[in-house]
């Protein structure tokens, strides 16, 4: 069962920091070098200095981006820039955003709390995507230096009757403790909950549920590695030591505000590529339909393409293809009888995924990429915005692109429920959770107070 608990979170002191929108940042792994500089300049107390410090010439074991983050964190606490709650708390968040589908603003609710870390295969906390050791090592170095968790792990639970947030109605009907609009147009509100009765009710409602990690797989594995390291140093008992828990943002997978965007695939270069040979080869598995590019109004092309992919994708795995210099898009619809040829090593639930149809037939068989190539970020790039993806091909930044429909929530549930994992970048849960709303200091001697 999932063990959920309150904690004494760290939040920015409103008396010391006036504009919350200048203090927060997206997760570290979606921030490029240019954006890192922007967040550094936005405010001297922006959380970027904790989650993604700058590298310097001459960095050493005792002076590097991780140790500087730890020094900064300690200084902000001592200067009361960051305040630690006096009493255990949970944090309710409301996020408003425009998903860009023309259907208006959406609202997604979230609950920030501690969740006890589980061993792999427990069936309580379930990953759905593969991870890579380099990212885990980076986050572990940061956690070891700081003794803190700066970002929440975005996780989902199933609550068709919405009983958990119904219990929080009294809280969210009051004015929020924090309210601001971020630079990307998203709106954010946060309420601090300190009711023991509510903690007990939420804990009871969560105890029979499994938790699915939506985003932050590396951070969860890092938290488990840190827990194991702390167990060696301080002991495994009692099970409510602070390092036995990790901070999560919990959202109902039935929330109407939950959005999954596609992760389109861009390919830097494939030597010897010829469109005629490629189309001839994939005709064995796909029905191929050309779609002319409208040179007079190229801005409308991606809208047409998106609608066609959505319509055809209801019946079979369907994706778009576009290559540099082409005057056509190509709609690739898998012939239903060919799905069984994806490979005997795949579970039936994995065969339903468009990303694996793309990988097995188009990337590996037709274009000749190896499985190792598919994990090479020098070859492949991922982007959720269709218009920008197509423009990067037009600009010559990439040679070609495959345009995907978003992975369906029911497929995510099915794959995770079978104890399986998807290829990396199979889902893009949008928007990402901002870092800086609540931070978690991990004192190895502190015990988490159970509801």
- Say what the pTM is: 0.91
pLDDT of residue 11: 98
Q: How far is CA 300 from CA 3, 6, 297, 312, 423, in A?
A: 49, 49, 6, 19, 31
Question: Which residues in the chain come in under a pLDDT of 50?
Answer: 296
Query: Do the Cβ atoms of 259 and 215 come closer than 8 Å?
Result: no
pLDDT of residue 15: 92
Kindly report the backbone phi and psi dihedral angles of residue 136, in degrees, each rounded to the nearest multiple of 5, phi listed first.
Answer: -65, -40
C-alpha 66: how far from chain center: 22
Residue 141, both tokens: 């170095």
d(Cα 224, Cα 211) in Å, to the nearest integer? 15
pLDDT of residue 299: 54
Ranges assigned E (strand) in 203-293: 211-215, 245-252, 259-261, 264-267, 286-292
Query: Do the Cβ atoms of 10 and 83 come closer than 8 Å?
Result: yes
pLDDT of residue 130: 67
Query: Do the Cβ atoms of 67 and 145 come closer than 8 Å?
Result: yes
pLDDT of residue 224: 96
Q: How far is CA 384 from CA 149, 183, 352, 390, in A?
A: 27, 19, 20, 11
pLDDT of residue 127: 82
> In what helix (H) or strand (E) does residue 112 lie, and over which residues does it extend?
strand 106-116
CB under 8 Å to 197, separation ≥6 — which residues?
none
């Amino acid at each position: 069962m999932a063990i959920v608990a309150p904690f004494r979170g760290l939040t920015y002191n409103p008396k010391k920091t006036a504009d919350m929108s200048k203090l927060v940042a997206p997760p570290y792994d979606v921030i490029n070098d240019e954006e890192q500089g922007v967040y550094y300049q936005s405010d001297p107390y922006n959380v970027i200095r904790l989650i993604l410090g700058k590298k310097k010439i001459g960095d050493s074991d005792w002076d590097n981006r991780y140790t500087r983050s730890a020094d900064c964190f300690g200084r902000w606490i001592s200067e009361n820039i960051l305040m630690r709650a006096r009493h255990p708390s949970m944090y309710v968040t409301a996020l408003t955003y425009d998903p860009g589908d023309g259907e208006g603003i959406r609202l997604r609710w979230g609950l920030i709390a501690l969740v006890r870390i589980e061993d792999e295969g427990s069936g309580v906390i379930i990953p759905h995507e593969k991870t890579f050791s380099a990212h885990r090592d980076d986050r572990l170095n940061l956690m070891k230096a700081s003794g803190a968790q700066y970002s929440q792990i975005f996780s989902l639970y199933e609550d068709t009757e919405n009983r958990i947030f119904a219990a929080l109605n009294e809280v969210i009907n009051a004015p929020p403790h924090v309210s601001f609009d971020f630079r990307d147009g998203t709106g954010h509100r946060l309420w601090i909950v300190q009711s023991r009765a509510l903690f007990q009710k939420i804990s009871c409602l969560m105890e029979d549920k499994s938790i699915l990690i939506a985003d932050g797989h590396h951070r969860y594995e890092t938290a488990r590695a840190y827990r194991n390291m702390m167990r060696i140093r301080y002991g495994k008992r009692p099970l409510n030591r602070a390092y036995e828990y990790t901070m999560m943002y919990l959202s109902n997978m039935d929330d109407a505000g939950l959005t999954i965007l596609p992760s389109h695939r861009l390919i830097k270069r494939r030597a010897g590529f010829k469109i005629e040979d490629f189309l001839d080869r994939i005709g064995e598995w796909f029905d191929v339909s050309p779609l002319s590019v409208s040179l007079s109004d190229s801005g409308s092309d991606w809208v047409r393409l998106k609608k066609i992919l959505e319509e055809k994708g209801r019946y079979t795995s369907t994706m778009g293809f576009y290559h540099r210099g082409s005057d056509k898009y190509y709609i690739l619809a898998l012939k239903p009888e060919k799905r069984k040829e994806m490979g005997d090593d795949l579970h039936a639930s994995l065969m339903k995924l468009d990303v694996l149809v793309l990988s097995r037939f188009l990337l590996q068989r037709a274009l000749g990429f190896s499985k190792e190539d598919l994990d090479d970020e020098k070859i492949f790039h991922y982007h959720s915005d269709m218009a920008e993806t197509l423009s990067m091909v037009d600009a010559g930044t990439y040679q070609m692109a495959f345009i995907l429909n978003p992975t369906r929530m029911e497929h995510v549930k099915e794959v995770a429920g079978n104890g399986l994992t998807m290829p990396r970048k199979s889902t893009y849960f949008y928007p990402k959770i901002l870092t800086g709303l609540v931070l978690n200091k991990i004192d190895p001697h502190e015990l988490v107070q159970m509801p």
